[in-house]
Amino acid sequence: MAYSMDLSGRVALVTGASSGLGAQFARTLSRAGAAVVLASRRVEKLKELRAQIEAEGGDAHVVALDVTSMDSIRAAVAHAETEMGAIDILINNSGVSTTQRLQDVAEADFDFIFDTNVKGAFFVAQEVGKRMLGNAQLFVLTRSVIGTLRSASLEKSPLLQSPALEDTLLELVWALIGERSASVQRR
């Protein structure tokens, strides 16, 4: 497939690149010319994707990342920049979900979702956004980061789908890097 967007010379950090949407984001960005940093916990899966991207002529680097750990976030972003240069594009995609009915959700389930999808995404955006300050050529994409607790009787938990939480994340990115210099989109 041909891509009209030329991202040659750009560096993209894709969190949650070991499967699903994140892996596809990484392939697509690479085919558009970007160098991609593949980040998540399952490094072996990332290495498989790196091999696929390199076989297509792309440039990919693997970095271990657990978004529930502040130390891991800082180390992964620093490592990504050391290896590939300044990050131009953030695909803030790491996420988890659970499948309990709403009335069966335990505190540990709630914490699991929020630690990854809200807190994790927030601090990934912060760490990358801080480093983007002063860079006038930015494209930042954050996906919809709020996880879903599925339920037979109530398919989506309104609490965990709160648009206010997503807005908070987007506003953080805008505050850090300036709305005029960035394109911030939900997915």
Ligand X SMILES: NC(=O)c1ccc[n+]([C@@H]2O[C@H](COP(=O)([O-])OP(=O)(O)OC[C@H]3O[C@@H](n4cnc5c(N)ncnc54)[C@H](OP(=O)(O)O)[C@@H]3O)[C@@H](O)[C@H]2O)c1
Whose Cβ is closer to ligand X: residue 105's or residue 181's?
105
Q: Which residues contact 77 (CB under 8 A, 6 or more apart)?
A: 13, 87, 124, 127, 128, 131
Torsion angle (degrees, nearest 10) of CA 187, 107, 168, 12:
-50
Distance separating alpha carbons of residues 160 and 149, to the nearest angstrom: 7
Minimum CB distance to ligand X, residue 136 (Å): 29
Minimum CB distance to ligand X, residue 21 (Å): 4
Whose Cβ is closer to ligand X: residue 30's or residue 68's?
68
Residue nearest to ligand X (CB): 95
Distance separating alpha carbons of residues 106 and 100, to the nearest angstrom: 9
Minimum CB distance to ligand X, residue 72 (Å): 8
Dihedral pair phi/psi, residue 163, rounded to 5°: -60, -25
Minimum CB distance to ligand X, residue 115 (Å): 8
Residues in contact with ligand X by CB under 6 A are 15-16, 18-22, 40-42, 45, 65-68, 93-97, 116-117, 143-144, 147
Q: Position of tokens 């300044």?
A: 86
Whose Cβ is closer to ligand X: residue 124's or residue 132's?
124
